[in-house]
Every structure is written in structure tokens, then in C-alpha cells.
């Protein structure tokens, strides 16, 4: 499984971008400067995304198996970048 680094774990990074790469089989690595967000992601280990289809149905997707790193974790980030 290939890794993808998503710089920024905000609504867009955790939302449709993570969903696209998760569905394509990538292991997601979030890097963000917000320590509390990184801590929450790591503690929970998963989060859900709600998608609405054209016909009005709601689909829930669970994203798990990701890594969340703070921007200060330079060695860990370098290690992942070297593998890419």
C-alpha cells in the first residue's frame, strides 16, 4: 500500500481529499500544525465522513488506518517522505 501525505488536517484534507485517496487504496498521513487536532485524530483512530448523493441519499464512510503527525515531528515526516 502506498502512502499519501496530506498537508493540513482541516475539513478539506480530512474530507473529500482523504476520501478520494482512501478509496484508491492509499494509506493516509496527515501533517498539521494544530496539536490538539493531531492528538484527537490519534486518540480516536478513526473518523466519519458523510456524503450526499445526487438522489438525496446519505452515505457514511469511516476513515481509519491513518497516521497523524504534528509539523514538529520532523524525523517521522522525513522517514515517510523517504519512502515515497
Tell me the pLDDT tens digit for each residue of 29-78.
999 999 999 999 999 999 999 999 899 999 999 999 999 999 999 999 99
**Residue in the structure block whose three cell numbers are 478520494:** 20
Residue 36 has a pLDDT of 97
Residue 19: partners with Cβ closer than 8 Å, 6 or more residues away? 49, 51, 61, 63
Out of 3.10.20.520, 3.40.50.970, 3.40.50.170, 3.40.50.720, the CATH code matching 3-83 is 3.40.50.720
Rounded distance between C-alpha atoms, residue 84 and residue 82, angstroms: 6
Residue 43 has a pLDDT of 97
Contact 32, 71 (CB under 8 A): yes
Amino acid at each position: 500500500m502506498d502512502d499519501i501525505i496530506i498537508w493540513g488536517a482541516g475539513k478539506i484534507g480530512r474530507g473529500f481529499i482523504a476520501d478520494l485517496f482512501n478509496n484508491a487504496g492509499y494509506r493516509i498521513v496527515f501533517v498539521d500544525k494544530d496539536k490538539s487536532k493531531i492528538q484527537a485524530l490519534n486518540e480516536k483512530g478513526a473518523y466519519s465522513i458523510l456524503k450526499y448523493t445526487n438522489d438525496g441519499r446519505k452515505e457514511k464512510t469511516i476513515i481509519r488506518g491513518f497516521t497523524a503527525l504534528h509539523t514538529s515531528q520532523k524525523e517521522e515526516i522525513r522517514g515517510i517522505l523517504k519512502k515515497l
